[in-house]
Structure 1
Amino acid sequence: MIDVRPLDRTSLERAYGIDGQRLLPWPELNAPFEGAWCVLRAGAASTPHAHEEYEIFIAVKGSAELVVDDERHPFAAGDVVRLPPGSTHRVVNDGDEDFEYYGVWWDPAMSARFVARHEASRP
């Protein structure tokens, strides 16, 4: 049996200057990572930040620029970006249309919790 979690565009939550829908909490999902559908509005930029998690962004719709440690990189639908832990990053959308991407992040603690939940659920 599969679970489908639909995107609810009417209930996106604001974080880091981006509107998004987080992957978790999702009780049926046991994963060693977290993620979020992200919508960066036209003419907006996300809040610069850094963290120790590993992270990838998958561009889904539109184009923007990714600023990592003060270096600008084009970022368009179909691109996948790996962000090193500790890098300061933000997404800038100077265009006239919303930019959409999916962010996925993980760290050793998330992996350990995943393994513990997996082991506990085994018959």
Structure 2
Amino acid sequence: MEIRRLDPDEPVRDQGLVARRLMPWPLVNAPFDGSWCVVRPGAESGTHGHREHEVWVAVAGVAEIVTADGVVPFAAGDVVHFRPYEEHQVVNRSEEDFQFFAAWWDLEMAERFAARDEE
């Protein structure tokens, strides 16, 4: 077993958020990539869409997800899935950090996983 610790001094700016890339992880053959993300009070990500599927798992705090369908509250314990190319944004209007884990994947990543798994 190996534990990868989140180092709060190591995050970098990504899509307007403070993020720490956790996947890929050389020890783990996973069919997805992922990041720990923090949205500071008053901050928001850029609106974006991409070819990958994406899932966010809300871990702490409260924020809003903005899509073409509107604005939806997103709080600790919630999970959301974005389809490929679905534009989305997260906005933190609260006075506390909002934290979530993001994982994304596509067919190419799944094929690489399968090839590595056969080795």
**What TM-score do the two structures reach when normalised by structure 1?**
0.93
Aligned to 2:39: 40
Aligned to 1:9: 8
Pairing 1:90-101 to 2, within 5 Å after superposition? 90-101=89-100
Q: Which runs of 5+ in 1 are unaligned?
A: none
State the structure with more CA Rg.
Answer: 1
1:70 Cα deviation from its structure 2 partner: 5.5
Contact 2:12–2:19 under 8 Å retained in 1: yes
Letter of the structure 2 residue corresponding to residue 58 of structure 1: V
Q: Which runs of 5+ in 2 are unaligned?
A: none
2: CA distance, partners of 1:70 / 1:98: 25
Q: Percent identity?
A: 49
1:110 Cα deviation from its structure 2 partner: 0.2
Letter of the structure 2 residue corresponding to residue 45 of structure 1: E
1: CA distance, partners of 2:63 / 2:35: 18
1:118 Cα deviation from its structure 2 partner: 1.0
**What TM-score do the two structures reach when normalised by structure 2?**
0.96
> Which stretches of structure 1, 4 residues or longer, exceed 4 Å deviation after superposition?
none
